Structure 1
Amino acid sequence: MEKQPQEGTWSISEPDQHVNHLMAAFNLTLSGTSTFILLGIPGLEADHIWISIPFFIFYIISLLGNVTVLFVVGKEQTLHKPMYLLLCMLALTDIGMSTSVMPKALCIFWFNLKRITVRGCLTQMFFLHVASVMHSAVLVTMAFDRYVAICNPLRYANIVTNAQIAKLGLVGLIRAVLFILPLALLLSRLPFCANHIISHTYCEHIAVANISCGDITVNRMYGLIIGFVVIGLDLTLIALSYCLIIRAVLRISSKKAHQKAFNTCTAHICVMLTSYTPSLFSILTHRFGQGIAPQVHIILANLYFVIPPMLNPIIYGAKTKEICDKVGKYTCRM
């Protein structure tokens, strides 16, 4: 049944019925508006077309690189191993992160399509943050994989199996959903009054919360806690793994063995640097960098969702001989 929209209410159509039932189950009220306006990069509207060019190139490269990793590992039976399963999980989270943000951002840059529904905004925020938390969980699992490979190589095949990696991946996904779902639910309860304009290219949690006419103290605190708990806990586990790896390597007298051990960790270290450095910088500048221009905040936030997904398959493709060889084989066939 089609209801006529009134100010401050929703127009309910058939496709939205299941969403509304879910919202009602959580006693959610999305009040004040049915759409938001994403400005893109305020103050640089005249340069949106030029700004979009590098973002579009980075996004296409990231899609091609990560889809190539998924295709090669999926096609080659010899690559159906824990290490390559982890690479596939990393590729999927990279695709999820960049695709949650870039298509809408490019629509703003190219076609000035700035409107987004409240449901669409909350959905985008949920998936991009889930992908980010899951991405961090995959990096922790990779650190565990490297720890076992170097510190307990004789038992590696028994400890690190495809089933074990799949279970750890599922745990990481459940953790991401449990952490981010309250963030979306808290945001959906906020009233949105006169101001429906979001000064961003995507629905970032705090950017949306800031336009609410309600009290956002809980949203700010929970968002900050989640950021530091996820990144802090994951970095602590990764640091612990590498401390144990370094201790094990230093006990080996052979320099050749030292080199081989560190070579197995090089790609993972590079991926961590490309992932956590822009993430931490973006969080810290957004929370504490009041003197930094808003345009810088927005550009940095967008780069976080496109640069690591672009670089990760390149890093692993260059450092992993098996993937490099298989990519070369399929390229020659084409």
Structure 2
Amino acid sequence: MGIPVGVSACVMGQKVRFDGGHKRNLFVEEQLVEYFDFQPICPEVGIGLPVPRPTIRLLQRSDGEERLVATKDITKDYTDEMIIFSDKKISGLDNLCGYVVCAKSPTCGMERVKLYIENGNTVPGGSAGVYTRRLMETMPWLPVEEDGRLQDPFLRENFVFRVFTLNDFYQTMGGEPTRGKLINFHSRYKLVLMAHCPEAYKALGRMVADISNWDIDEFYHEYRLLFMEAIKNRANRRNNTNVLMHLQGYFKRYLDKEQKAELAEIIMDYRHGNMPLLAALTLINHHLRMHPDDYLKDQVFLNPYPQELKLRYAM
């Protein structure tokens, strides 16, 4: 059974768009489908709109309120229906570990959706689709990404990583969070936090150290939110280099002079953009096999998802 992930139905190739078409995403349907159990949803069909159908848009009224209306007849207002549908649907999505939404959609877009005013002009910066806004407000820890942004290798890697991580979090908790399980999870993700957000690495470390003074349910929800927010930050070369050098220190007693020089050189080559992250990690994993270390073996930073996804090739 794959990791449960929501998706706009049109992104999965379902012909549910206003024109009877779809927005099939090859990466989603041909690669991620091997690991994710996608749950397709079309909010517009969900509120009873037909296929094909007249277009709808987001409209900002003079009082600043945003409404979901028919493009050619703004008296046809679908906002309340969409909010009711969204809240009901989202209430049953607690098991999801991620969501892929359709860009530019007035219901599913994540950002920069065209927001019109009554004279036909648009508001700079746009808005978010009604359904996706409710989704992100209700589940702020959930990894959400647009289909188009998945073409960017860095955004793609970060999104998929966050999905695998949230699934790991839920699997570790097993439906019954305990202090021991939370401490174990945090320990395995220390290097991840160091790479993605050094500030959160320190703050969450202090939080975990104080876990005995927390109500366990309150800690679970607060930690999940703060942790998932932290790893939204993309790990940059500087932070990754710091982690690689940290890993390097574990092998100083085992490597000879030439091996140390080789590892140091490849880390600096990565730092200067001459090598991908994968090159340094491959060598570190090689040394780890030769010189096992229980702490390093459990560090998710070294193997965060299946290699077959090839997500770190461009990092």
TM-score normalised per structure 2: 0.26
Whose helix proportion is higher, 1 or 2? 1
Higher relative contact order (CA 8 A, sep 6+): 1
TM-score, structure 1 normalization: 0.25
